Amino acid sequence: MSNTADIERNIAAVRVRIARACERSGRSPDSVTLVAVTKTVGPTLVRAAFEAGIGHFGENRVQEAEEKLASLRDIRAESTWHMIGHLQTNKAKTALGVFDIIQSIDSLKLAEFISRSAGRTVPILLEVNAAGEATKGGFPPGEIGEALAKIREMPRLDVQGLMTIVPLVSDPEEARPVFRRIRELRDILGLPVLSMGMSDDFEVAIEEGATLIRVGRAIFGERRV
């Protein structure tokens, strides 16, 4: 894990990598939102990231995020929090109080539940199981069109785009065809947001059209757990 001083430097380095990937693909760096993934990271380092200019944060567990945010109330009001992990319906109501955006809508059942329990319009992304891994959640690419049509009928949900987690690969180039396929799917569906790319592969994801990247280790260092 990094210390406070490392965080600012790491964020600057990530921003340079984003800018270079954008330059290579003829895109503006403004077209990519950097979400700092703070799972397992304590409030002090979250605060350091905020002070270094990070405005978007991602967490994969409702309870962890809730506990952390209890000591970050000042930051909470000025930042956007993204749920990026699998969400069980029994935690969905709490999640709505903790997060601004739910990136990990992976079933019609979850979408219905959130639609029914939300007291506001909730921005959401639909998670696509890009590589067809049985162990991972998300809609298979072939079912996403039908799911989108159904979810668009549900009140209080604002479907902004797609999110995908690609399997860890030794060479980020191996992820490129998967990123490309999901981008094509997103284009067909005509949605603005495309959340893909993590510490090891976000440059390739940007080259293939990611509008939002989720970066943990490159900012906060290796996770101990």
Ligand X SMILES: *Cc1c(COP(=O)(O)O)cnc(C)c1O
Q: How far is the CB of 53 from ligand X (least distance, A)?
A: 18
Size of the site for ligand X (CB under 6 A): 13
| Residue 79 touching ligand X (CB under 6 A) | no
Q: Which is nearer to ligand X, 106 or 207 (CB)?
A: 106
Q: Which is nearer to ligand X, 91 or 156 (CB)?
A: 91
| Residue 84 touching ligand X (CB under 6 A) | yes
Using CB under 6 A, which of the segments 45-53, 73-81, 132-140, 212-220 binds ligand X?
212-220
Can you tell me which residue has the tokens 């440059």?
203
| Residue 122 touching ligand X (CB under 6 A) | no
Query: Among 165, 185, 204, 205, which residue interacts with ligand X (rule: CB under 6 A)?
Result: 165
Q: Give Cβ neighbours of residue 88 (< 8 Å, ≥ 6 apart).
A: none
How far is Cα of residue 44 from the mean position of the Cα atoms in its chain?
A: 22
Query: Among 60, 79, 129, 160, which residue interacts with ligand X (rule: CB under 6 A)?
Result: 60
By CB under 6 A, name the binding residues for ligand X: 37, 39, 60, 84-85, 165, 198-199, 214-218
